[in-house]
Structure formats: structure tokens, C-alpha cells
């Protein structure tokens, strides 16, 4: 796979697993995260990928990430917006700061990534944006995630709108939405306010399995993919039984 792939949130979890998975395909990787030490270690394990310490909640740093990728490799072929953070607080307990944090990390970071890379893709008439969402963006199975769920739902909407725009004006550009369920990572521990360890939750999906689904969606692009086929049935079943 001779592609230049940028992955945000690459120091741990899905991003790190995806980097290691893609490193075996011959892809040229540019990895971004805030934590320099863990990011450097993942970059080393992924075949000495380029590590760029980046706070994706800052537009200027996302632009710098893009610039570093192009300076190193001459182009970007795939941009994976994977960085995100959860919360452990019910809707009625949310503060303004809680909501702002969830929107900044889970929505605006994705917006910055899309806006930075889209002109490059348009110029090249090629490219793929991959946005990592959550099953919880479509079903309220974990209300304590509240503003996280809402932020991911907003991200889904932005993704769908960008896809529609691209199909009309730049049909060679692919926009892919990925929807995992519970994944066995540190996501729960790192949630705002703490939370259950996702690695101990029933039916947590192995992170390598999720990374493989994303890698497959890059190798053979699709508009949307659940990381387990049964999740689509779960969504359909929920809305079929919801009382109006």
C-alpha cells in the first residue's frame, strides 16, 4: 500500500493499533498525539513512522501536522481523524465546560482535519478522509457518556455533509465513517471524570480487530462501516422498537 497516511490520536488505543497494522502494508505513516513519549514509542514500533506532537484541538497545530506530512512525503493520501475523549457524566449534570471540552476534542478537531486536508485532496483529485465515531452516536446505551455521544452524533452529521459535498464536486475523494462499539482500550479510564476500564467490559472488541476493519476500509474504501457486522442490526433493532 503506497499511501501516505496521517493518524491522529496515535499514541494509544485504536490509533496506535492502526499504525502498527498499516506499517506492515508499506504505507508511509505520519502519527499525531499530544504525548511525546508514547507517540515516539508507537512511531518506532510502526517502522520509524514520522511522529508529530500535535494538539488537534488547535487549528494551527493541525495545519502544522499537515505541513510536516507534505514536507516529509510530498503528499497526503489518507487522513484518519481518530483522536477523541469520553466523559462520565449524565446530561443533567453537565457543565458548560464539559460540553465545550467534548465538542472541542470530538468535533472541532475533526473539522480542522477535514478543512486542512480537503483542499489538498481537491487539487490532487484523490484522497480519503476517515472519521472514527462510535456506536453511541446512534443509540443511547450509555447515557453517562452524554456529551460524548452528542459530540460524536454531530461529527457524524459533519461527515455525511462533507461526503455529500465531495460526491457532487470531487467524486474521487472518499469520506469514510467508522463506528466501533466498546473497544478494549484505555478509553474508559481516560474519560473526563474517570470511568469503567473499557478493557474489562463484557464483549469489548479487541483493538486489533477494530484496527483491521479500518485498514480494510482504507484498502477498499467504503462510505460507512461498523467494526462488527451485528452493530448494524443493533441500530436497526433499536429504531424499529423505539416508541414514537
- Supply the residues annotated as catalytic: 148
In this structure, are residues 118 and 129 in contact, taking their beta carbons and an 8 Å threshold?
yes
Dihedral through CA 147, CA 151, CA 156, CA 158, nearest 10?
150
Q: Packing angle between helix 36-45 and helix 13-23, nearest 10 degrees? A: 30
CA 99 to the chain's CA centroid: 19
Residues belonging to the chain = 244
The x, y and z cell numbers of residue 13, run together, are 488505543
Close Cβ partners of 136 (under 8 Å, ≥ 6 residues apart) = 142, 145, 148, 149, 152
The x, y and z cell numbers of residue 225, run together, are 462501516
CA nearest neighbour of 14 among 162, 184, 152:
184
Counting DSSP H helices and E strands in the chain, the numbers are 8, 7
In this structure, are residues 85 and 190 in contact, taking their beta carbons and an 8 Å threshold?
yes
CA distance 42 to 63: 22
Amino acid at each position: 500500500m503506497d499511501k501516505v497516511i496521517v493518524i491522529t490520536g496515535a499514541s494509544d488505543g485504536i490509533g496506535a493499533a492502526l499504525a502498527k497494522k498499516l506499517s506492515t502494508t508499506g504505507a508511509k505513516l505520519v502519527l499525531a498525539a499530544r504525548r511525546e513519549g508514547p507517540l515516539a514509542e508507537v512511531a518506532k514500533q510502526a517502522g520509524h513512522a514520522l511522529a508529530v506532537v500535535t494538539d488537534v484541538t488547535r487549528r494551527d497545530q493541525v495545519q502544522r501536522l499537515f505541513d510536516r506530512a507534505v514536507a516529509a512525503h510530498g503528499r497526503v493520501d489518507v487522513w484518519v481523524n481518530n483522536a477523541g475523549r469520553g466523559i462520565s457524566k449524565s446530561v443533567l449534570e453537565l457543565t458548560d465546560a464539559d460540553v465545550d471540552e467534548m465538542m472541542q476534542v470530538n468535533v472541532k478537531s475533526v473539522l480542522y482535519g477535514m478543512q486542512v486536508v480537503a483542499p489538498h485532496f481537491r487539487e490532487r483529485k484523490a484522497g480519503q478522509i476517515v472519521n472514527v465515531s462510535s456506536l453511541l452516536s446512534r443509540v443511547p446505551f450509555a447515557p453517562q457518556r452524554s456529551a460524548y455521544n452528542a459530540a460524536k452524533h454531530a461529527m457524524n452529521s459533519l461527515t455525511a455533509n462533507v461526503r455529500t459535498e465531495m460526491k457532487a464536486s470531487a467524486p474521487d475523494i472518499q469520506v469514510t465513517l467508522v463506528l466501533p462499539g466498546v473497544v478494549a482500550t484505555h478509553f474508559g479510564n481516560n474519560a473526563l471524570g474517570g470511568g469503567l476500564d473499557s478493557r474489562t467490559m463484557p464483549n469489548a472488541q479487541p483493538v486489533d480487530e477494530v484496527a483491521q476493519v479500518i485498514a480494510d476500509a482504507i484498502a477498499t474504501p467504503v462510505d460507512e462501516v461498523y467494526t462488527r457486522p451485528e452493530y448494524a442490526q443493533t441500530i436497526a433493532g433499536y429504531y424499529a422498537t423505539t416508541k414514537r
